[in-house]
Chains A and B, each alone.
Chain A
Amino acid sequence: MSSRTQLRLRWSLAAALKARQVALSAKSNVLYSRVKAYSTKSLRDVGGACVQLQFNNAPLMAGGWVCGIRAAHSDEDVFLPILGGAPGDHRHGRIDAMVMASPVEGDAEQVTFLPEAKLEEYLPLGTEVQVAPIWQCNDFFDLRRLFGQVDEDMTGALLLVQPNVLIVRVHESLCASIPTCVRRARRRRGSRAHPP
């Protein structure tokens, strides 16, 4: 697997222009929203940037979407393409939108997402934004749910298996990297929790 942990998202300018046109045809299905916040921590951690839009009434089905957006201060019938993630968890009713309208330095034929500073400038908090859904590309990935399922299903499983070389090596390297004062504090805490 690639060890790259910084987002590299590019679209051809031609694809972005076509998305702008296709979104225009979806304008009869526009949903109304307002700017609620900007980038999530997870997205910022990988170098991405988005604007979080809160739908006024009907939300989008959870998943990954390509849509057009039109800010209230744009001309009539003018949309910008976005790649969006509509969460299915406690944030259902929002979409995290990466606006694909930033030039790529040194490559006039490609575009990328608007950086956070530009988003804040262009779409201030509370701005009304129309969202024209074009296509749902995939399902919503819910890490919290997946994590909870795994934790619940496998509780205690470690007690049933023989410790293997991996666990021993990892545990040893972990202990070696922890400062002595922390290890002592943990031993004290452990002895209180499990008296002999």
Chain B
Amino acid sequence: MSGALDVVEARELIRRETDATMDGANRPWTAHRREEEVERVIAAADVVDGRSEQPAITLDAFRATGFYKARMCARIEQLGERAATRVESMYKSPPWNGVLLPEEAQGRFEALVHGTCLGNA
């Protein structure tokens, strides 16, 4: 292990990272779009000793790429969507069903932070 990825390895990392996920436009990843991402990622690469002067990318450099940041946004936003869907479905079942009056469930922001001291912070 050199601690850095070359082009072939970067391609493999991106394949693993995007397998079974959708892209930002909610479409399955295609080989062509993966290649585009590899190209962008490697554009951020540097020449690392021991890699025959081929461009290679370190973990920190990979984290700084637009690809990684976009994937991180997508992962968090998908987590938010899943969580909201789950909460809605749990809330429809006992013992929560009907705990909030309809007007409370639609709610005001003040009801969300009531009793938390958040408004005072």
A interface residues with partner B (beta carbon < 8 Å): 1-22, 25, 42-43, 45-46, 48, 64, 66, 71, 73-75, 78, 80-81, 83, 85, 98, 101, 103, 108, 111, 118, 121-122, 134-135, 137-138, 141, 143-144, 146-148, 150-155, 157-159, 161, 166-167, 170-171, 173-174, 186, 189-190, 193
Contact = CB atoms under 8 A, between A and B. Distances in A.
Contact of B53 (A137, A141, A190): A190
Given A22-B87, A22-B96, A154 B121 contact: no
B91 A21 contact: yes
Contacts of B1: 148, 151-152, 155
A170 B39 contact: yes
Interface of B: 1-9, 12-13, 16-17, 23-25, 29, 33, 35, 37-39, 42-43, 45-47, 49, 51-55, 59, 62-64, 66-70, 72-80, 82-84, 86-88, 90-91, 95-96, 99-100, 104-109, 111-118, 121
List of 3 A-B pairs having minimum Cβ-Cβ separation, nearest first: A2-B24, A66-B83, A75-B115
A38 B114 CA distance: 24
Contacts of B112: 13, 16-17, 20, 80, 101, 111
Given A122-B121, A143-B59, A171-B55, A19 B76 contact: no
Given A8-B73, A80-B112, 14 more contacts: A2-B70, A13-B112, A71-B117, A75-B116, A85-B79, A108-B108, A122-B121, A147-B13, A150-B9, A152-B1, A154-B6, A157-B8, A158-B51, A170-B45
B90 A134 contact: yes
B82 A189 contact: no
Contacts of A166: 7, 35, 38-39, 42
Nearest to B14: A150
21 contacts: A2-B74, A9-B80, A12-B84, A13-B112, A14-B105, A15-B87, A17-B105, A21-B99, A22-B87, A22-B90, A46-B73, A64-B75, A83-B79, A98-B76, A101-B113, A101-B116, A103-B109, A146-B17, A154-B6, A155-B1, A158-B7
A42 B59 CA distance: 12
B59 A147 contact: yes
Secondary structure class of chain B's binding surface, majority of residues: helix
A153 B13 CA distance: 11
Contacts of B76: 7, 9, 46, 48, 83, 98
Contacts of A12: 84
Given A83-B83, A138-B79, A2 B69 contact: no
Contacts of B53: 186, 190
A151 B4 contact: yes
